[in-house]
Chain A
Amino acid sequence: MSLDPRGRSHPTYIAFILHRVSGLLLALFLPLHFWALGQAIHGEAALEGFLRWADNPLLKAAEWALVVLLALHLAGGLRVMALEFLGWRARQKDMVAASLGLAFAAGVLFLLNVG
């Protein structure tokens, strides 16, 4: 099959792609997340050491990306739930905009609280 972008460049398709890609990236992050939590089993010092190492700017930027991905996926999921369970026909594009707005706001909020 072809994935010609000319028939697919509309807001709800882009929202679908963002939802999918954010979900996949979050799934890829999960093993790392569990590994970090697993450090706690080896005692407070091991976890503390990891957390101190994670406190560098590069990791902070990655953390920001993670927060944005989570917010994107959450807001996108809520949008899909709303359109499937509430049967709203109108304003689908506004719903896409609102979910993107939520993710953006979460990203900005995180940046404001960093450091």
Chain B
Amino acid sequence: METLKAPETLKVRVWRGDAAGGEFAEYAVPARENQTVLDVVTEIQREIEPTLAYRFACRVGMCGSCAMEVNGRARWTCRTHVRRVARPGEVLELRPLANLPVIRDLATDMAPFFDKWARARGQFQPKDAGDGAVPDDFAVVPPESKARREADAGIECIGCGVCYASCDIVAWNPDYLGPAAMNRAWTLVNDVRDGARGARLEAVSGDAGCHSCHSTQSCTQHCPKNLDPSSAIAGLKRSLFWDSLLGRRG
């Protein structure tokens, strides 16, 4: 049988434009045995199109800044090998993350995403010491306790925005807090040292909060850290349900 020779060039369609609009531009880069999508974008910018805007920092899946839409799906480009998303000869299609304002080309403005973390009361509020003061003693939180395990399950989020860009509800309702902010809220609801449970649950309830989630679970499906924001949102719904039913909401 004749072995197929790998094509020597990789065709890439890159969305170019800004907040006002844009269109795809086509580039061809050398196809290599081992290349990540971020390598491809960097090669285009360094060798062909110096004005191409994109964002990256660590290149090893720690910072979460290089997320883009690769062939229709939000991913970390630094951790995505080209051969995993495009068969030999197939075109690679790159767009900026969905559901966020585009600054230019592949770089999006992440401000609305992080503003929603604040709106979901994503900041830790010590129970024993108000106004950011340091508590007198260390809190002991048994690692096996249910609340600790729930908090641990979501704590590794690095805020890359992949879940947010994959969420249909954010696309339908721009006010919707989104998976990452509510995942953060759920870790804090389960943090026994935190004193803002009531206000936080209030912040994540209603039309722009957990009650709008349709559990399509695209967030969970696409999270590069294998976190489960969908279950975190279900947890918030559950807490709000029982708190409302038992009259525990102030």
Contacts and interface: CB of A to CB of B under 8 A. Distances in A.
A84 B72 CA distance: 29
B29 interface: no
Interface stretch (B124-132, B199-207, B231-239): B231-239
A115 interface: no
A8 B74 CA distance: 11
B96 to A, nearest CB: 13
B103 interface: no
A4 B231 CA distance: 24
Contacts of B234: 83-84, 87
A87 B233 CA distance: 10
A16 B218 CA distance: 11
B73 interface: yes
A89 B228 contact: yes
B216 interface: yes
Interface string A1-30: 110111110101100100000000000000
A7 B74 CA distance: 8
A35 B235 CA distance: 41
B166 interface: yes
Nearest to B74: A7
Interface in A31-46: none
Would you call the interface of chain A mostly helix, strand, loop, or mixed? Answer: helix
Interface range on chain A: under 10, 10 to 19, 20 to 34, or 35 or more? 10 to 19
A10 B216 CA distance: 9
Contacts of A4: 72-73
Contacts of B231: 83, 87, 89
A74 interface: no
A12 B237 contact: no
B73 A92 contact: no
Nearest to A3: B168
A7 B218 contact: yes
Given A7-B72, A83-B231, A85-B238, A16 B172 contact: no
Contact of A84 (B153, B171, B218, B237): B237
A83 B221 contact: no
Contacts of A106: none
A84 B222 contact: no
B172 A13 contact: no
Contacts of A1: 98, 168, 171-172
Given A13-B218, A84-B215, A89-B231, 18 more contacts: A4-B72, A4-B73, A5-B72, A7-B72, A7-B74, A7-B166, A8-B216, A10-B217, A10-B218, A12-B220, A12-B230, A16-B214, A16-B215, A84-B234, A87-B231, A87-B238, A92-B217, A92-B220
14 contacts: A4-B72, A5-B72, A7-B69, A7-B72, A7-B218, A12-B230, A13-B218, A13-B221, A83-B234, A84-B215, A84-B234, A87-B235, A89-B231, A92-B220
